[in-house]
Structure 1
Amino acid sequence: MAQTSNGTLAEVAAASTAGPAGLSAGTIGDSEFDRDTAVARRADEPGVYDAELSAGWTIINAVNGGYLLALLGRALSDALPHPDPFTVSAHYFTPSQPGPAVIRTESVRSGRTLSSGQASLFQYDAEGREVERIRVLASYGDLGALTGEVCTTAEPPVMPPLAHCLGASDGPAPKIPGSNAITDRLHLKLDPATVGWALGAPSGKGEMRAWFGLADGRDADPLSLLLVVDALPPTSFELGLKGWTPTVELTVHVRSRPAPGPLRVSIVTRNLAGGFLEEDAEVWDSADRLVAQSRQLARAPRS
């Protein structure tokens, strides 16, 4: 890729397959993602959890929304009788910052196959007062109990093999101001057809596609899918816009437990109007199954 005056693709794409220096290989339950989404249940306050938001998942000037959703999802999986997120809807009120947080959960309904609950994440302002960052309403079930029947017209995204896509070491691209720490946690390989923005020639199509993995090699599970849907560069880049694209609302449907191996993620925006845009995402696993879908409303960059 040709040189630009703004930095390198490593600063906005992902770490190499080996991951950042010192990052050991991760497995489900014992990885950087699991450690950084850990929650501690308060013994004296039912449904209340303490958490520490890691600076390793920040982008520009805030903690990534998908990481936060996974952290809330972990608290709900502990609080509710069913293990797996089926549908999670989150409203983001204020940007979250690295540091202590409190998650307050509430069970709304428990049935035989589904249980529903809500959760809010709070941090503290300079005066020590709680500030609500996110509020989530979710339904949980057991993905392992679902039938294998599939009737669909959905198809995996058409994109080059992983080896022919572009990652951290493949060339320069515009530098994003602020923190890019999350890129060291991920192994992204972007479809070359969706990186025109990196060369100053965005396609105008509002599409982003990539192969996705965690940099330490941890395979995907239902909880990490809540991160995956919000981990790619925003589609607004391919619309010729740069800067922070804060999420207003994000709804995720988890359809199946993913098979081991890299995921394929496709995100598209069809309508930017009034300073807001939607992003529709699909996540496909190595067995060609649609394992997650999402839609989010985001504020378009103002630059």
Structure 2
Amino acid sequence: MAQVSVSSAAQAVIGDSEFDRDTTVTRREPGVYDIDLSAGWTIINAVNGGYLLAVLGRALGDALPHSDPFTISAHYLTASHPGPAVIRTDVVRTGRTLSTGQASLFQYDDEGAEVERIRVLASYGDLDALPDDVRTSAKPPHFPPVEQCFGAQDGPSPVQGSSAITERLDLKLDPTTLGWALGSPSGKGEMRAWFGLADGRDADPLSLLLAVDALPPTAFEMGLKGWVPTVELTVHVRCRPAPGPLRVSITTRNLAGGFLEEDAEVWDSADRLVAQSRQLARAKLS
């Protein structure tokens, strides 16, 4: 597939971009990291779960002997807010090809007590050391060209305070999954989009942790409204993405008891499946 540009913004580079700066953690002591969670990655007042996963992923990449996330599972315990946070990591096991660690992110309540926001367990390795052999029945999703898809700038003005993350992203949504924005949701649990960062930074394994949780909820296209908070999210990173925009396809097959699952696939510009995820989220039914 020919590479296309989602954005005409000046090209930032991996390691020197808004995403890199906003996910940077400062090591206080071995296994303990400080960060000021940026308000730029919020939805209403809560910090986006994919951004938070990338923050924890960066801390674990420093704490473990391997730098690339292979699989990372997060349980979201309480909503995170912009401001100071501390991450505590623990090395569970180290091996030749994989190392495993866990991490928790804490913030402080009004009395100054620590409140755990997220807890993750992850295995890390070296994506560049993986063999090239691929045997798969998975096929890339069919998307309209970027110029036939729609972004936040094509819709009505967002609700005040709700759009901070959209300014960090360059999303172009497949119009067949945009019925919710026009008041006519399809009833199908599907959401698809071209994905990039607004400053033009190419994708890497850490930004894939953001990409799987960056699209509007599939619940919108099922006729539901309101916040859809993540309860648990597991991401598998399959290979290092090629330069260029990503295609993200998310589906929901079952909404029951006020909870739904979202299965995501992320494909790069070389038509490779670079990440997969599943999350359980709470849906507002009324």
How does the TM-score come out when normalised to structure 1? 0.90
CA distance in 2, matches of 1:58, 1:301: 19
Which of 227, 243, 246 is equivalent to 2:210? 227
CA contact (8 A) 1:252 1:292 kept: yes
Partner of 1:266: 249
Q: Output aligned runs, 1:1-303, within 5 Å.
A: 17-18=7-8, 25-42=11-28, 45-172=29-156, 175-176=158-159, 178-303=161-286
Query: What one-letter code is carried by the residue in structure 2 that aligns with 1:58?
Result: T
Query: What one-letter code is carried by the residue in structure 1 that aligns with 2:152?
Result: A
Partner of 1:10: none
CA distance in 2, matches of 1:130, 1:292: 33
CA distance in 1, matches of 2:7, 2:40: 17
Identity of aligned residues (%): 80
CA contact (8 A) 1:176 1:243 kept: no
Change (3 A) 1:244 1:176: farther
Change (3 A) 1:65 1:121: same
Deviations 1:213-270 (A, max 9, x none): 0000000000110000000000000000111000000000000000000000000000
Give the match's secondary structure for 2:176: helix
CA distance in 1, matches of 2:189, 2:156: 21
CA distance in 1, matches of 2:160, 2:280: 22
Query: What one-letter code is carried by the residue in structure 2 that aligns with 1:17?
Result: S
- Measured after TM superposition, the shift of residue 178 of structure 1 is 4.2
Tell which deviates more after alignment, 160-169 or 246-255: 160-169
CA distance in 2, matches of 1:241, 1:293: 24
CA contact (8 A) 1:172 1:198 kept: no
CA contact (8 A) 1:49 1:104 kept: yes
CA distance in 2, matches of 1:137, 1:164: 39
- Measured after TM superposition, the shift of residue 138 of structure 1 is 0.0
Give the match's secondary structure for 2:30: coil
CA distance in 1, matches of 2:143, 2:8: 23
- Measured after TM superposition, the shift of residue 180 of structure 1 is 1.4
Deviations 1:163-206 (A, max 9, x none): 11111333438x45742100000000000000000000000001
- Measured after TM superposition, the shift of residue 286 of structure 1 is 0.1
- Measured after TM superposition, the shift of residue 18 of structure 1 is 4.8
Change (3 A) 1:29 1:259: same
Q: Structure 1: which 5+ runs fail to align?
A: 1-15
CA distance in 2, matches of 1:170, 1:135: 37
CA distance in 1, matches of 2:193, 2:283: 21
Root-mean-square deviation (CA, aligned residues, Å) is: 1.3
Partner of 1:6: none
CA distance in 2, matches of 1:264, 1:168: 17
Deviations 1:59-96 (A, max 9, x none): 02200000000000000000000010000000000000
Deviations 1:106-162 (A, max 9, x none): 000000000000000000000000000000000000000001110000001111011
CA contact (8 A) 1:243 1:302 kept: no
How does the TM-score come out when normalised to structure 2? 0.96
CA distance in 2, matches of 1:18, 1:99: 31
Give the match's secondary structure for 1:163: helix
Count of equivalent residues: 281
Query: What one-letter code is carried by the residue in structure 2 that aligns with 1:126?
Result: D
Query: What one-letter code is carried by the residue in structure 1 that aligns with 2:106?
Result: F
CA contact (8 A) 1:25 1:31 kept: no
CA distance in 1, matches of 2:159, 2:89: 35
CA distance in 1, matches of 2:79, 2:153: 30
CA contact (8 A) 1:252 1:294 kept: yes
